Amino acid sequence: MKSDETFLRAQSEGEPKEEVDATIKMIGDRWLKSDASSEDVKDMAALYDLDELLSEFKNVKSPPARARQPPSTARMRSP
C-alpha cells in the first residue's frame, strides 16, 4: 500500500498533530507491506479487494447508464 500525506492526515483525524507529523515524516511517500490478514490492516485490505468491491453491485436492478435513453431523445420519438 502506498499512501500520500493527504490520505495519512485523513486517516489520522483526531490524533495529536505531533504524532501525525511524525508518522508522515517516517512513512512519507513510501510503499508499505503488510499481511492482509493482520487485524491492523484487515479493513484497509478490503479497499483493494476487487471481488469485495464488485459484490456490492450484484443485486443492482437499474440498467447501466449507457443503456438508458436520455429523456430528450425519448420525447423526440414519433407516436
pLDDT, tens digit, 9 for 90 and up, residues 21-49: 999 999 877 888 877 777 777 777 767 77
Residue 11 near residue 39 (C-beta atoms within 8 A):
no
pLDDT at 17: 94
pLDDT at 42: 73
Q: Give the number of other Cβ atoms within 10 Å of residue 3's Cβ.
A: 19
Residue 30 near residue 3 (C-beta atoms within 8 A):
no
Q: What is the mean pLDDT of the chain?
A: 77
Q: Label residues 7-28 b or e (16+ Cβ within 10 Å = b).
A: ebbeeeeeeeeeebeebbeeee
Asked whether residue 19 carries a pLDDT value surpassing 60, the answer given is yes
Beta partners for 31?
A: 2
